[in-house]
Structure 1
Amino acid sequence: MKAAVLQEQEQMVCTEHPNPQPGSGEVVIRVRSCGICGTDQHIYHGHPGSAEVHTPIVLGHELAGVVVAVSDDVDTLAAGDRVTVDPNIYCGSCEYCRSGKLHLCDRLQAIGVTRDGGMAELCAVPAANCYRIPDRMSFEEAALIEPLGCVLHGFRKLAIGPRDHILIIGGGFIGQLFLQLVRASGASRITVSEPAAFKHDRLRELGADEVLSPLDPDAAGKFASGADIVIECVGRKDSVEMAVGAARKGGQVLLFGVASPDTEIHIRPYDVFAKELRIMGSFINPFTHLEAIALVSQGRISLEPLISHRFTLEELPQAMRDYPNLGVSKGIINL
């Protein structure tokens, strides 16, 4: 088969690769669409993924396609089934798995992170990680069920009331998903902080009451007024510090953006104490795939209009190299 293989840091090639065979409990899917996640870029540049990465590896943990081969011990799926994939594989026996916190598994494995993923024509995955999709759902939408599931996990941590003012920091793909969920929750007011002016109209269309640029000096006073809930979707030092500073008394702060492991922030513990802030993290997507599929299939969450760039497998090595300069909000590979 053809695959985009990350041979070592910042060295990806599109090449012939052995066809995967289904192991016990597995199926092989013909990949039709695979999203490019910020985590793929982190791994490409030598930073950690959700688990330790060893090259050579085929990246791609946001994938959907058609089942083409099934292990003899699998009776839940059949060739021809259209599926989306939850990439995360848990050991089931560590302390976290046995206490219901599977996503914090000590031996977490992930398709496209610790084993070959969806940036290839074929991919072997556990049958238990596959979810059938409705016929009316496109493969592009199905591939993006995984990031929506991650957003749902973070969203579930928040207690949103009808009087709440929500500030979303970062209006890219993840911020746009949060925006749609928050809008549907009935919050009183939603402000989005986004420096890229070309995204502002889309953010208003998706339900933002106010879109501000953090680069605009006139916006500083508005951020200082405080939000009941702040959702940080960037993962930069300045944006994280802004998130903590912009929360009002009794506020909730969700740090969703993935920061570099060496990023350090400056906050005053007194402010956390005096404002009695609740600061939370959010890691991957436990038990959210079915809800994400339902939200998209019912038309309550829009995914395809959020895709800014589409690539072929052959274009992927150069796209990964040039990604920071392409102005990508959300990229996807179609096979």
Structure 2
Amino acid sequence: MTRALVKRGSAESDTAVVSTQVPSPGAHEVLIRTEAVGLCGSDVHAWRQDAGYEWVQVPVILGHEAVGIVADIGDDVDPGWLGKRVVPVSIDGCGRCPVCQSGRGYICPQRSVLGLSFDGAAAEACVIAVDRLVEVAPDVSAHAMVLVEPLAIAVHAVSRLSVADPSASGEIIVTGPGPIGLMAALILHQQGHRVTLVGTESDLPVRLSKAESLGLRSSLGDSLPAGISLWLEASGSSQALATAIENIDSGGTIVVPALFARIPEVDVNLITRREIGLIGSYGASRSDYAKAAEHIGSDPHFWEQLVSPFLLSDASEVLGRVSRGEVIKAILIPESSAPAPETTGLVLSETPDSALSDLPADF
């Protein structure tokens, strides 16, 4: 038997850590011993059965941000995968259509999402198709390497800004200091760009405070710099998108990696007359995963500062904390992968409340 975070029905109380059978890998699949798994906005939306998540079939094991070790393989899998440390690709397509053949399976019309379309990785062990695996460094802390998936989403969003020369880009605004927005802002800052991360008063105690401690300039949006040529909207707030359209320079570009709980109204005439580029960003390619792993491997201690670890057995309570914005990035550590109890430190931290008006979705 193994322990897993299972969504069994539509009520929040229907999601709990329960004992299940250890899955067996089938053809083209591997069994992964989970080291750590992150929780994000999509997990919370599924837990709460929010609008737009009715399609999630139950029962299902949640979790799509994971790192672990290949412990067993099914038929037609190269034995060389045994013992490898891997991160699963969270969104992937059919593998056959022109979109997939172009390397963009994350926007395939038939794409599936780990932990929502089928059983995920919030468990002591999980089964994943071998063609969804990305090998990562074996000697980097799991607390850092578990960030590969969300950091890959941020890497992809930054790439959609299509900016290479920091001296030519002007000011860059990132709205939404959740994990994706914060990570994207940190990447841009490390590249030498002038970045301002914008949030709300509820973000001050945790998210904006952490951003400033990591060297970012933050704002509540009441005073924005002049000369904004690029904007990344990661909050999922209609007002934030409207603010971006109103304040970006003519010819500027807005990239939107967030999904919105309500369809936003935008001033298309303003977009047209000022030739503003409005670009969506969804998921990540395998090359984005590789770049994210490189970022983390180059300075794991820096990226670990975004993480708050908890035991898998506390997952139900941790989902509540994520929904209230009390942590930057909560990760679950299966008891089988955790240090001894007297040295673990994996307890619920006393973080001040920071209720969010909107929790942006990933999928």
Normalised TM-score (structure 1): 0.89
Q: Is residue 73–residue 79 contact of structure 2 (8 Å, CA) maintained in 1? A: no
* Alignment partners' CA distance in 2, 1:254 and 1:58: 31
Decide which of 23, 29, 49 is 1:46's aligned counterpart.
49
Q: Is residue 176–residue 206 contact of structure 1 (8 Å, CA) maintained in 2? A: no
User: Which stretch shifts more, 275-284 or 86-95?
Assistant: 86-95
Q: Is residue 174–residue 234 contact of structure 2 (8 Å, CA) maintained in 1? A: yes
Q: Is residue 169–residue 239 contact of structure 1 (8 Å, CA) maintained in 2? A: yes
| Structure 1: gaps (5+ residues) | none
**Counterpart position of 1:93:** 96
* Alignment partners' CA distance in 1, 2:318 and 2:171: 38
* Alignment partners' CA distance in 2, 1:242 and 1:280: 16
1:247 is displaced (CA, Å) by 1.2
* Alignment partners' CA distance in 2, 1:48 and 1:265: 16
**Counterpart position of 1:191:** 196
> What is the percentage of aligned positions where both structures have the same residue?
24
* Alignment partners' CA distance in 1, 2:103 and 2:134: 21
Q: Is residue 29–residue 66 contact of structure 1 (8 Å, CA) maintained in 2? A: yes
Code of the residue aligned with 1:212 in structure 2: it is S
| Structure 2: gaps (5+ residues) | 335-363
* Alignment partners' CA distance in 2, 1:111 and 1:101: 16
Question: Is structure 2 residue 229 aligned with structure 1 residue 212?
Answer: no
Q: Is residue 230–residue 246 contact of structure 1 (8 Å, CA) maintained in 2? A: no
Structure 1 residues 35-56: Cα deviation after superposition (integer angstroms, max 9, x where no partner): 0011111222224789942111
C-alpha change, 1:98 and 1:297, in structure 2 (3 Å) is closer
**Counterpart position of 1:245:** 246
Code of the residue aligned with 1:304 in structure 2: it is E
SS of alignment partner, residue 8 of structure 1: coil
**Counterpart position of 1:114:** 117
SS of alignment partner, residue 197 of structure 1: helix
User: Which stretch shifts more, 320-329 or 122-131?
Assistant: 320-329
* Alignment partners' CA distance in 2, 1:77 and 1:303: 29
**Counterpart position of 1:304:** 304
Provide the aligned length of Structure 1 versus Structure 2: 324
Structure 1 residues 210-249: Cα deviation after superposition (integer angstroms, max 9, x where no partner): 32113xxxx25x36x4511111111022222222222111
* Alignment partners' CA distance in 1, 2:85 and 2:52: 27
1:87 is displaced (CA, Å) by 2.4
Question: Is structure 2 residue 16 aligned with structure 1 residue 13?
Answer: yes
* Alignment partners' CA distance in 1, 2:78 and 2:97: 27
1:252 is displaced (CA, Å) by 0.6
Normalised TM-score (structure 2): 0.82
**Counterpart position of 2:276:** 277
* Alignment partners' CA distance in 1, 2:212 and 2:18: 42
Q: For residues 222-233 of structure 1, what are the structure 2 equivalents within 5 Å?
A: 222=224, 225=226, 227-233=228-234
**Counterpart position of 1:27:** 30
Question: Is structure 2 residue 330 aligned with structure 1 residue 331?
Answer: yes
Q: Is residue 76–residue 127 contact of structure 1 (8 Å, CA) maintained in 2? A: no
Code of the residue aligned with 1:191 in structure 2: it is T
**Counterpart position of 2:211:** 203
Code of the residue aligned with 2:184 in structure 1: it is F
Q: For residues 21-170 of structure 1, what are the structure 2 equivalents within 5 Å?
A: 21-47=24-50, 52-75=55-78, 77-160=80-163, 161=165, 162-163=167-168, 164-170=170-176
1:301 is displaced (CA, Å) by 9.1
* Alignment partners' CA distance in 2, 1:181 and 1:311: 26
User: Which stretch shifts more, 75-84 or 160-169?
Assistant: 75-84
C-alpha change, 1:325 and 1:46, in structure 2 (3 Å) is same
**Counterpart position of 2:260:** 259
* Alignment partners' CA distance in 1, 2:179 and 2:321: 18
* Alignment partners' CA distance in 2, 1:233 and 1:226: 20
Q: Is residue 182–residue 197 contact of structure 2 (8 Å, CA) maintained in 1? A: no
* Alignment partners' CA distance in 1, 2:104 and 2:185: 27
Q: Once superposed, what is the RMSD of the aligned Cα atoms?
A: 2.3
Code of the residue aligned with 1:159 in structure 2: it is S
Q: Is residue 50–residue 113 contact of structure 1 (8 Å, CA) maintained in 2? A: no
User: Which stretch shifts more, 72-81 or 54-63?
Assistant: 72-81
SS of alignment partner, residue 263 of structure 2: coil
Question: Is structure 2 residue 193 aligned with structure 1 residue 182?
Answer: no
C-alpha change, 1:103 and 1:78, in structure 2 (3 Å) is closer
Code of the residue aligned with 2:21 in structure 1: it is P
User: Which stretch shifts more, 157-166 or 58-67?
Assistant: 157-166
Q: Is residue 150–residue 179 contact of structure 2 (8 Å, CA) maintained in 1? A: no
C-alpha change, 1:282 and 1:244, in structure 2 (3 Å) is same
* Alignment partners' CA distance in 2, 1:131 and 1:101: 15
Q: Is residue 255–residue 281 contact of structure 1 (8 Å, CA) maintained in 2? A: yes
Q: Is residue 51–residue 113 contact of structure 1 (8 Å, CA) maintained in 2? A: no
* Alignment partners' CA distance in 2, 1:145 and 1:51: 28
SS of alignment partner, residue 276 of structure 1: coil
